[in-house]
Amino acid sequence: MADPTLQLEGLTRRFGGVTAVDNISLSIAKGDIVGLVGPNGAGKTTLVNLVTGFLPKSSGRVLFEGREISHLPPHLIARSGVARTFQIVQPFAEMTVLENVMAGALFAGQRGSIRQASEKARHYLEFVGLDRFANHSASELSLANRKRLELAKSLAMEPRLLFLDEVNAGLNSSELDTPLS
């Protein structure tokens, strides 16, 4: 594979005597859609946390677009073009739905105005079907809509690599069947 977008080399994470991620090496090319499947406790979220800087590695390397990022803090990894959703969503409850997504757009570090962030946020809120809730407090949203908000925040960062960490976990079949806009 020429010039992978993401390359993991011997990535390992130990918690005391427990090895949660053991010597993972893989490459993901631009445009690839990859699923990571395994039982609870298999290390899937730990792997995402290692790549996105939320956990330090025990050993190995993470390269994004040819540049090692495994030593960077999460905000710099995000600004380099890597975004993620979280299994347990925790929106900024005191902010509106629109402001939450604007925060994602602004956090990405792209030069732009508040107006541009607002336009981008409105676009992604419409995409996930939350545009009618734009001025509502994020704390008012159902779990399904908080999950959609989490996705909109990540998309507003306009990443070149996006991790969706159990984005549908905890939702029932009727919530899953509701289409995005």
Q: pLDDT value at position 102?
A: 95
The sign of the torsion formed by the CA atoms of 153, 156, 158, 164 equals: positive
Q: Please report where in the chains the tokens 């994470």 appear, as a residue.
A: 13
Statement to judge: residues 43 and 112 lie in one domain: no
Q: pLDDT value at position 112?
A: 75
Helix or strand holding residue 67 (H, E): strand 67-68
Q: Rounded CA gap, 77 and 36, in Å?
A: 20
180: confidence class by pLDDT, cuts 50, 70, 90: low
Q: Please report where in the chains the tokens 């107006």 appear, as a residue.
A: 115
Q: How far is CA 89 from the centre of its chain?
A: 11
Q: pLDDT value at position 181?
A: 47
Model pLDDT for residues 119-177, shown as the tens digit of each residue: 999 999 999 999 999 999 999 999 999 999 999 999 999 999 999 987 766 666 666 55
Model pLDDT for residues 95-110, shown as the tens digit of each residue: 999 999 999 998 876 6
Our count of domains for the chain comes to 2
Domain that holds residue 29: 6-72
Cβ–Cβ under 8 Å, residues 27 and 6: yes
Within a domain: residue 1?
no
Question: What's the whole-number mean pLDDT along residues 42-69?
Answer: 96
Q: Rounded CA gap, 107 and 71, in Å?
A: 19
Statement to judge: residues 151 and 66 lie in one domain: no
Q: CA of 73: how far to CAs of 37, 51, 56, 126, 177, in Å?
A: 26, 10, 9, 31, 36
Q: pLDDT value at position 171?
A: 62
Pick the last residue of a domain from 24, 39, 72. 72
Number of H helices, E strands in the chain: 6, 6
Q: Quick check: pTM over 0.85?
A: yes
CATH of the domain at 150: 3.40.50.300
Q: pLDDT value at position 110?
A: 66
Within a domain: residue 36?
yes
